Amino acid sequence: MYRLAGHASSPFGALIGELTLERLPFYRRKDMILYTDTPDRGCMGYLAVITAAEPEDRFHLPHMLGNVSPEAASKLKQGDILSVSGTGEAAVLWDQGSRQNSLLLTEACNCRCLMCPQPPRRHDPALPAAALRVLDLLKGKRVESICITGGEPALPKEDFIGILRRCAGEHPNAEVNVLTNAKPFSDASFAGEAALAAPKKAVFCASLHSDLPQVHDAVVGKPGSYDLTNEGVYNLAVRRVPLEIRHVIVRRNHDRLLEFARHLYRYFPFCAHYAFMSMETCGLAAENLDEIYVEPNDYRDGLRAAVLAMSKRGLPVSVYNTPLCLCHEDIRPFARRSISAWKNVYLEQCGRCAAKASCCGFFSTSVKLSGQIEPLAAA
């Protein structure tokens, strides 16, 4: 999430609105956040104002976030949805025009994955409220894709179902991805509710980190998770919910990629898509780095075998977050540019690489990058 800092005019509570770079007639200002160089009297009626100038606390003017660096502010676009708060922070909740927007429903989770980039926190009801507010602001707009995420987004059950319903009703053509560990859907009646509420094109992306219960459970840090995730996935599948399996490669599971692929074909052949993912080493992953990190050289053969095994069985498979130079040549066509633009970086040597334009690059957030990055020659 793109954030920018400044000074608040007063300690006001978080406000969520749509950004405008142009001044609007008074009657259209209520839900809008104005970005302006000159926070004058003409700012009346906006939800909030962001400015590079000194913030002013005047009773007839909206709440203001001032002293924002012009360079940081230059990334803001007309139509972005922002949250601005009295703590002096603004965050882009919806990046207008991007295909990688998400609604964060909670930071609480019923797993504690060793490689989780966002450590779980106590549930904050403000998050689903903010998500609902974003949906209010998106009403009637063209939305291509929505990612529903957490934590485990299905933990606040009612909010989750409500948001699915709203997505289905208000953005029937959007691609909706739900990033879940699928455990909440082990409750068959809840799985049924979700299946009914979900937009037709919604894909539930379930994380499954091993074909072996004990390995999966060790990776996600909670015993019994494997069975619940399996049951959740099956419960969704029998209700014809489109599914994707996401498999993050860590030290604990990197030596069974081919067997895992085979297991997927045997016992999860009904999914719409399968993804092998390299880690983003931040959050818990950074803390547990010694325990989870595995050099790409140690799994590139296994990854190749797994991807080719799935491909020749006719399963749609992708490789996420893995730079092309770390993939064997014959599986490069399966590698996607999967890292969100705002946290996507390349290394110095990537400048000389012929494949840079089609490469996912790296997470700017990662604390450890592979030492095996080498520019590729033109084909």
Partner 1 sequence: MTRLLPFQHKRFPGGRRLLVNECGDHHFVAEAVFELMLAGALSEDHPEFPDLQSRLFVSAELNDGFGVRKAAAKYRSRKAYLRDFTSLHMMVVTVRCNQRCEYCQVSCAEQDAYRYDMPVSTAMKIVDLILEAPSDSVKIEFQGGEPTLNWEAVAAAVRYAEERREKAGKKTVDFVLCTNLTAIREDQLRFCRDHGISVSTSLDGPKDLHDRYRVLRSKGSAYDLFRGNLALAREIVGEDRVDALMTATAASLNAFPEIIDEYEELGFGGVFIRSLNPYGFAAEKAAELGYGMASFVAAYAEAFRHVMKVNRRRFFPELFATILLSRILTPFSTGFVDLQSPAGTGISGAIYDYDGSVYPSDEARMLARMGDAHFRLGNVHVDSYREIFGGARLKDLIRGACVETTPGCAYCAYQAYCGTDPVRNYLESGGEVRNMAGTPFCVKHKGIFDFLFSFLDGMTEEEEDVVWSWITRSGRVQAAGGRPGGGIGGRGGAGPGRPGPEACPPPGDGVAGGV
CA distances from 59 to 9, 36, 48, 159 (A): 11, 18, 13, 35
Cβ of residue 255: shortest distance to partner 1, in angstroms? 9
| Token duo for residue 308 | 């080719």
- Given candidates 230, 278, 366, 370, which one binds partner 1 under the rule CB under 8 A? 230
CA distances from 218 to 171, 227, 252 (A): 38, 13, 8
CA distances from 360 to 94, 116, 300, 339, 341 (A): 22, 20, 16, 6, 9
Q: Alpha-carbon distance 335 to 276, whole Å?
A: 9
CB 169 within 8 A of CB 141: no
Q: What is the DSSP letter of 339?
A: S
- Given candidates 219, 315, 327, 331, which one binds partner 1 under the rule CB under 8 A? 315
Using CB under 8 A as the binding rule, whether residue 273 contacts partner 1 is answered as yes
Q: Which stretch binds partner 1 (CB under 8 A): 52-60, 143-151, 257-265, 370-378?
A: 257-265
Using CB under 8 A as the binding rule, whether residue 204 contacts partner 1 is answered as no
- Residue number, 214 or 297, with CB nearest to partner 1: 214
Q: Which stretch binds partner 1 (CB under 8 A): 98-106, 132-140, 267-275, 353-361?
A: 267-275
Using CB under 8 A as the binding rule, whether residue 219 contacts partner 1 is answered as no
Q: What is the DSSP letter of 26?
A: G
- Residue number, 266 or 352, with CB nearest to partner 1: 266
- Given candidates 223, 329, 330, 349, which one binds partner 1 under the rule CB under 8 A? 223
- Given candidates 69, 270, 291, 349, which one binds partner 1 under the rule CB under 8 A? 270
| Token duo for residue 269 | 């052949």
Using CB under 8 A as the binding rule, whether residue 271 contacts partner 1 is answered as yes
- Which residues, in sequence order, are CB contacts of 348 under 8 Å at separation 6+? none
Using CB under 8 A as the binding rule, whether residue 272 contacts partner 1 is answered as yes
- Residue number, 48 or 228, with CB nearest to partner 1: 228
Cβ of residue 312: shortest distance to partner 1, in angstroms? 4
Using CB under 8 A as the binding rule, whether residue 169 contacts partner 1 is answered as no
Cβ of residue 259: shortest distance to partner 1, in angstroms? 5
Cβ of residue 145: shortest distance to partner 1, in angstroms? 18
- 50-57 — which CB contacts under 8 Å span 24+ positions? 50/6, 50/19, 50/76, 50/82, 50/84, 50/90, 55/6, 55/7, 55/8, 55/9, 56/9, 57/9, 57/10
- Residue number, 135 or 215, with CB nearest to partner 1: 215
- Given candidates 77, 239, 336, 343, which one binds partner 1 under the rule CB under 8 A? 239
Using CB under 8 A as the binding rule, whether residue 214 contacts partner 1 is answered as yes
Cβ of residue 364: shortest distance to partner 1, in angstroms? 33
Q: Alpha-carbon distance 225 to 213, whole Å?
A: 8
- Given candidates 226, 293, 320, 362, which one binds partner 1 under the rule CB under 8 A? 226
Q: Alpha-carbon distance 125 to 82, whole Å?
A: 18
- Residue number, 142 or 312, with CB nearest to partner 1: 312
| E strands in the chain | 3-5, 7-8, 15-20, 32-35, 48-50, 63-66, 81-85, 89-94, 102-104, 145-149, 175-180, 203-207, 243-248, 273-277, 317-320, 344-345, 362-363
- Residue number, 271 or 277, with CB nearest to partner 1: 271
- Residue number, 16 or 271, with CB nearest to partner 1: 271
- Where along the sequence are the contacts to partner 1 (CB under 8 A)? 211-214, 217, 223, 226-227, 230-231, 234, 237-240, 242, 256, 259-260, 262-263, 265-267, 269-273, 312-316
